[in-house]
């Protein structure tokens, strides 16, 4: 019904903001990370989804299309409503989520708020064809781990997995580290831990 809203940010809350559009204030619920970059008084454009319930009309908004697109995919999964999907997007970025789907990272998904093991398994089952078959996602995943088998990078990733991190947390960090054949796995692990601590 409402594709996007554009206006002046009038109020900034913990889980929502109010956008003034021609004198009408729209309450828009957003992921925490996206709310954090906003300031009252600035012009803002948000791609929106209107949730219609018996007792309320709720507007969910996203500053970028990748968040908006993933939100729509998440609410298409049986048992996941807009509120749960928003909580997931407050805890994980789209690229992390797509890597989790591609690598079937159940542990990563169950760390997300409101997601138990059964729901995580349902997400993997219902979204695997929607995101797992994407050539772009496949390429990213292949570039991330497919060429690292048997290398120091592979050993470092195994060490980080043993420390309790998930593939979806490890892969983006490993990609930031320019690993060389002369580097030892422990050097990569130290750099990875430092980067993770600085998140």
CATH at 44: 2.40.50.140
The residue to which tokens 């048997």 are assigned? 150
Task: Please check whether residues 58 and 73 belong to one and the same domain.
Answer: no
Contacting residues for 155 by C-beta, under 8 A, at least 6 apart: 185
Range of the domain at 163: 147-199
In the chain, pLDDT over 70 holds for what percent of residues? 86
Q: Specify the DSSP element, H or E, that contains 150.
A: none
Instruction: Give domain status of residue 95, yes or no.
Output: yes
Residues 28 and 54 in one domain: yes
Residue 181: the pLDDT is 58
Is the per-residue pLDDT at 48 higher than 80? yes
pLDDT classification of 144: cutoffs 50, 70, 90:
very low
User: Domain with 106 in it: what CATH number?
Assistant: 1.10.150.20
Q: How many domains does the chain have?
A: 3
Q: How many residues does the chain have?
A: 199
pTM of the model: 0.70
Establish if 140 belongs to a structural domain. no
Is the residue at 114 inside a domain? yes
Calpha distance 95→6 (Å, rounded): 26
- Distance between CA atoms of 91 and 13, rounded to whole angstroms? 17
């Amino acid at each position: 019904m409402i594709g996007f809203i554009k206006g002046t940010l009038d109020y900034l809350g913990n889980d929502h903001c109010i956008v003034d559009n021609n004198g009408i204030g729209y309450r828009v619920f957003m992921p925490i990370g996206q709310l954090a970059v906003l300031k009252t008084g600035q012009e803002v454009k948000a791609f929106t989804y209107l949730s219609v319930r018996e007792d309320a009309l709720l507007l969910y908004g996203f500053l970028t299309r990748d968040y908006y697109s993933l939100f729509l995919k998440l609410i298409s999964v049986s048992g996941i409503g807009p509120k749960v999907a928003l909580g997931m997007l407050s805890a994980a970025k789209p690229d992390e989520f797509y890597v989790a789907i591609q690598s079937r990272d159940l542990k990563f998904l169950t760390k997300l708020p409101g997601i138990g093991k059964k729901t995580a398994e349902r997400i993997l089952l219902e979204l695997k064809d929607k995101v797992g078959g994407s050539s772009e996602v496949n390429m990213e995943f292949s570039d991330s781990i497919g060429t690292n088998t048997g290398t120091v990078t592979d050993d470092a990733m195994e060490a980080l997995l043993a420390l309790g991190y998930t593939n979806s947390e490890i892969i983006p960090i490993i990609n930031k580290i320019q690993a060389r054949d002369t580097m030892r796995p422990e050097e990569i692990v130290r750099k990875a831990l430092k980067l993770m601590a600085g998140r």
